[in-house]
Structure 1
Amino acid sequence: MDTSAAERPFVIDPGGHDIHGDAERIRALGRAARVELPGGVLAWAVSDQALLRSLLTDPRVSKDAYQHWPAWIKGELPPEWPLFAWLAVRNMLTAYGPDHRRLRGLVSSAFTVRRTALLRPRVEAIAEGLLDELAATPPGTPVDLRERYAYPLPIQVICELFGVHDEDDRQEMRRCVDAFFRTGRTSPEEGATAYPRLQAILRRLVAAKRENPGDDLSSALIAARDGDDSRLSEDELVDTLVLFLSAGHETTVNLLDNAIFALLAHPGQLALVREGRASWEEAIEETLRSQAPIANLPLRFAVEDIDLGDGVTLRAGDPILACYGAAGRDPLVHGEDAGRFDVTRADKEHLAFGYGVHRCLGAPLARLEAAVALPALFARFPGLTLAGGPDEPPPLESFISNGHRVLPVLLGDRR
C-alpha cells in the first residue's frame, strides 16, 4: 500500500469516544486521509461528501476482500481482528460486480416496498405495547429509552419479518451483534467467536424453516435458494440472514436513540415539530444527516489505481473507510453550522444509508419505524425530559456505530 501521502496516519479510536471530533480532525487532513484502523491496518478515510458519493458509484471500488484486498487474500488478518466478520461474510454487503447484482436482485424481490408498507400496523402495535410498558413506570423513576424503546422496537420488527421467535436466539444474536459493532469493548476472543456463533443460530433457523416454512423472509430466501441452486449458495443464504438480522436493526436503534436525544436536548426544535412548523419526516432526515447511525463503515477496496487529484492516489488494493458521519456534516455542503441540529434546514442531504448499488435496502423500513415510533412516544409522554443532566449520555464504545450506551429520561406527564 502507498504510504507516501501521509507520514503519520491518523489513528482511529476503536472506542469512538469523540466520533465527530475525530471526523473533523480527519477532514482537516484532506478529502481522503490516511488512517490507522485497529490492528495497525492502514486505510483511506473519505469524509468529503462529494468524493464519497463518487467513490460509492465507481466500478473501480469493490467491497469484496476475497478478490481485491491483498492482505486478506494472503490470510494476514486473523479471526481475532476486530473487523474480521465485516469482511468474512459472503452476502450482498461484501459482493462485487455480477455477484452483487445477483444477490441484491434476489433479496430485493423478497424485501419489497409493498411488504415494508404492510408492516405499518404491526410497527404501530409494537410501539404501543412498549409505550404501555413504559407508562407503568412509577413517576419520577428514570428510564433508559435506548434499552426500553429504541432497541426492542426494531429488533422485534426485524425478527418477526424473518420469523425468528425464540427468545434465547434473539438474546444470543444481540450478544453477537454487539461484538461486531462495539469495537472499543469486544475482546479478541469474543470477536473471534461471535461470527460463527451467529452463523450457527441462523443455520438452525434455516433447517427449521425448511421443515416448516412460514410467511416470512427467511422462508422466501430459502425457497429461492432451494428452487434454483445456482442463484444462492447455502453460505450466501446464511450470511444474507446475518446481514439483515444483525446489522439490519442497528441503524434503526441508533436513529431512534439519536432523534430522541436531539429533540429533548433542543426543546426549541421539538416545539417546531409539535406545533406543525416542521414535520416528523424533517426531524428524522436531520437526525440522519447530523448523527449518521453508522459513522464509519469498513471496508471498500480500490480495484485499480484511482487518481483523486491534488497528488493523492488510491493504489490498487488500498482499503477505503466510508465516513458517513463526517459526510453528513460536510461544511462544503451544509455550511459552517453543519454540526448544528436544525429541523428547518433546507438541505438535509446525507449518505446515512449509503449510496449507489450498495444503498441500504432496509432504509424504507428504518424510516417507517422512526415515523411511527417518534410521534407515538412524544404524544404519549408530553412531559418527557432528559434525566442525565446537561451532559450528553456516554457514546457507544464503537467507531462504527453512532449512538449512546444509555438514554436516561424522565417520562413526566403521560397520556
Structure 2
Amino acid sequence: MDISSAAPHRPDPSGGCPHADNARLLARGAVTPVLLPGEVEGMAVLGHEALREFLAHPDVAKNARHFTALREGRIAEGWPLMTFTVVQGMTTADGDDHRRLRSLVSRAFTARRVAELRPRVEELTESLLDELERAAASGGGVADLRRHFAMPLPMGVICELLGVEDRYRDRLHRLSSQIVATDIGPRQAIAANRELVTVLGEIAAAKAGRPGDDLTSALIAARDEDGDRLSEQELIGTLTLMIVAGHETTLNLITNAVRALCGHRDQLELVRKGQAGWDDVVEETLRWDAPVSYFPFRYPLRDLTVDGTVIPKGTPVIAAYSAAGRDPAVHGADAERFDVTRPGRDGTVRHLSLGHGAHYCLGAPLARLEAGIALERLFTRFPDLELAVPAAGLTRHASFVSNSVRTLPVRPRP
C-alpha cells in the first residue's frame, strides 16, 4: 500500500482511549507512519497478521544501535521514550545477548514455579479484598479498586519474587508510572530515570551484602560467578523491566477487566452460569482492551515491506497491540464487541497483546494466574460490585504506551 501521501498519525502523548484512532487507521491499512513526541518519525504496525509477521521477522531488531535517528544524535536528552530505547535488558537485546539475559530470568517463571505461587497469590488477594472493603467503608461506600486492589496485588507478587522490601513499593510504582508516561517533560523524565536507577541500585547493593532466596540475589550471583554474564547496567536494566512490566501490565489487565465486566453484565452472567471461565474473561480483556496500547520499539535491519508498506531501515516501530486486538480482518465484523465466549482465531490465537516470537512476555503465565484469581475472588466476594462513576467519566492514563484509567472508583457490595 502507498502511504507516502498520508498524514502521519500523532499518538496523543496525554493518552486517551486509543480505539477510535485505531479503527480509523486500520481502515487505511495495517501499517501507518507516526510522529512520536519530539517530532520523531516512526511507524506503527496495527493489523493482527502484519504485527504477527513483524514481531517474529528475522530482520527486525530490538537494540537501539539500529535506531538511525538516535545513532545520528537527533534524539534529545530527556525524550519521554528514552528508557524504552536505551535500558539494557531483555527488551533491548538481540540474539545471544537476549537468550543469555532471558535464560537468567526464565527460571523464576517456569510453569512449576508459577504454579507454586498460586497459594501466595490467593492469600494476598484475600487480604487485599479486606483492604478494599475497609477503604469503601471509610469512603462512603466507594473505594478506588486500582489503588487498593489491582495495583498492590501484582506489585506485591513481583516484589516478593525480587526480594524487594515493602518500603520501596509505593515509590517504585510512582516511578514506573513516570517511566511509561508519554506526556512527561525532559527534566521530569531525566529525574525519574535517575531516581529509579538509584533506588534499584540501593536494592541491589543490599542484596549483594545480604543475599536471600529471591530473583535479585540469583541475578547477582550469576553475575559474580562469571563477570561477563550480567553487567551492572544489565542488572539494573533487568530489575527495571521486572518492576515496570511485572506489575503495570497486570494492574491494567485487572482494571480493564473489571471495567469491562461492570459495563457488560450479560458477560459476567455467562461466567456465573458456567458458560465461560475466568480465563476467558482474561483472554477477551487482553484482546478487547490490551493493557499495553503501543509498545516501543523495534528497528528493521533493512528496508522491510510489511503488508505492502515499506518500513525504512532504522525506523523506530511501535507495536499497536490495542489495534491488532480489534482488527476486523481477523476478529470479525464484531471485533469491537466484548464477548467472553469468542472463539480463538483458528481455535488457538486470540490476540497478540502479550507479544509474539522470541520476545513473547516471559511473565505471561504469572499475569494470567494473578488476573484470573483476582477477578474470580473479587466478583465472588462482591457479586454486585459496580462502578461508582460513569465509565465515560474515568480519567485515562497520561500515556499512549499504557492503556487503562488512572483510578477506578467502585462500590464493593458484599
Same fold (TM over 0.5): yes
Q: Distance in 2 between matches of 1:403 and 1:73?
A: 33
- Residue 143 of structure 1: aligned partner: 143
| CA displacement at 1:313 relative to structure 2 | 1.3
* Bigger Cα displacement from structure 2, 98-107 vs 147-156: 98-107
Query: How many residues are aligned here?
Result: 407
| CA displacement at 1:390 relative to structure 2 | 5.6
Q: Distance in 2 between matches of 1:319 and 1:395?
A: 25
Which amino acid in 2 is paired with 1:393?
Answer: L
- Residue 399 of structure 2: aligned partner: 398
Note if 1:347 corresponds to 2:347.
Answer: no
| CA displacement at 1:245 relative to structure 2 | 1.0
Q: Distance in 2 between matches of 1:265 and 1:381?
A: 16
Matches within 5 A, 1:27-42: 27-42=26-41
Which amino acid in 1 is paired with 2:206?
Answer: A
- Residue 337 of structure 1: aligned partner: 334
Q: Distance in 2 between matches of 1:287 and 1:7?
A: 31
Q: Distance in 1 between matches of 2:356 and 2:62?
A: 13
| CA displacement at 1:199 relative to structure 2 | 1.2
Query: 1:78, 1:84 within 8 Å by CA — same for their partners in 2?
Result: no
Judged with a 3 Å threshold, the aligned counterparts in structure 2 of structure 1 residues 22 and 7 are, in CA distance, closer, same or farther, namely closer
Matches within 5 A, 1:53-64: 53-64=52-63
Instruction: Give the counterpart of 2:316 among 315, 319, 326.
Output: 319
- Report the secondary structure of 2:395's partner residue: coil
Which amino acid in 2 is paired with 1:315?
Answer: P
- Residue 182 of structure 1: aligned partner: 181
Query: 1:79, 1:191 within 8 Å by CA — same for their partners in 2?
Result: no
- Residue 164 of structure 2: aligned partner: 164
| CA displacement at 1:166 relative to structure 2 | 4.2
- Report the secondary structure of 1:371's partner residue: helix
Q: Distance in 1 between matches of 2:382 and 2:109?
A: 33
Runs of 4+ off more than 6 Å: none
- Residue 99 of structure 1: aligned partner: 97
- Report the secondary structure of 1:43's partner residue: strand
Which amino acid in 2 is paired with 1:182?
Answer: A
Task: Give the TM-score of the pair, scaled to structure 1.
Answer: 0.94
Residues 75-117 of structure 1 deviation map (CA, whole Å, 9 limit, x = unaligned) = 3222311101111101010101221122112221343222221
Q: Distance in 2 between matches of 1:87 and 1:193?
A: 17
Query: 1:110, 1:221 within 8 Å by CA — same for their partners in 2?
Result: no
Instruction: Give the counterpart of 1:250 among 244, 248, 251.
Output: 248
Note if 1:173 corresponds to 2:172.
Answer: yes
Matches within 5 A, 1:4-403: 5-66=4-65, 68-136=66-134, 137-138=136-137, 141-167=141-167, 169-184=168-183, 186-308=184-306, 310=308, 312-347=309-344, 349-389=350-390, 391=392, 393-403=394-404
Query: 2:259, 2:391 within 8 Å by CA — same for their partners in 1?
Result: no
Q: Distance in 2 between matches of 1:175 and 1:187?
A: 16
Q: Distance in 1 between matches of 2:272 and 2:353?
A: 25
Which amino acid in 2 is paired with 1:80?
Answer: G
Q: Distance in 2 between matches of 1:107 and 1:134?
A: 32
- Report the secondary structure of 1:119's partner residue: helix
Q: Distance in 1 between matches of 2:412 and 2:232?
A: 47
| CA displacement at 1:4 relative to structure 2 | 7.4
* Bigger Cα displacement from structure 2, 11-20 vs 214-223: 11-20
- Report the secondary structure of 2:121's partner residue: helix
Query: 1:62, 1:301 within 8 Å by CA — same for their partners in 2?
Result: yes
Q: Distance in 2 between matches of 1:159 and 1:266?
A: 33
* Bigger Cα displacement from structure 2, 215-224 vs 140-149: 140-149
| CA displacement at 1:392 relative to structure 2 | 5.1
Structure 1, unaligned stretches of length 5 or more? none
Q: Distance in 2 between matches of 1:4 and 1:20?
A: 21
Which amino acid in 2 is paired with 1:228?
Answer: D
* Bigger Cα displacement from structure 2, 153-162 vs 385-394: 385-394
Which amino acid in 1 is paired with 2:313?
Answer: A
Which amino acid in 2 is paired with 1:351?
Answer: L
Which amino acid in 2 is paired with 1:8?
Answer: A
Which amino acid in 1 is paired with 2:25?
Answer: I
- Report the secondary structure of 1:45's partner residue: strand
Structure 2, unaligned stretches of length 5 or more? none
Which amino acid in 1 is paired with 2:390?
Answer: G
Q: Distance in 2 between matches of 1:166 and 1:17?
A: 32
| CA displacement at 1:59 relative to structure 2 | 1.3
Percentage of matched positions with identical amino acids: 48
* Bigger Cα displacement from structure 2, 138-147 vs 246-255: 138-147
Which amino acid in 1 is paired with 2:72?
Answer: K
Which amino acid in 2 is paired with 1:65?
Answer: A
Residues 171-208 of structure 1 deviation map (CA, whole Å, 9 limit, x = unaligned) = 22122111111213x23211112122111111111111
Query: 1:299, 1:322 within 8 Å by CA — same for their partners in 2?
Result: yes
- Report the secondary structure of 1:322's partner residue: strand
User: Aligned Cα RMSD in Å?
Assistant: 1.6
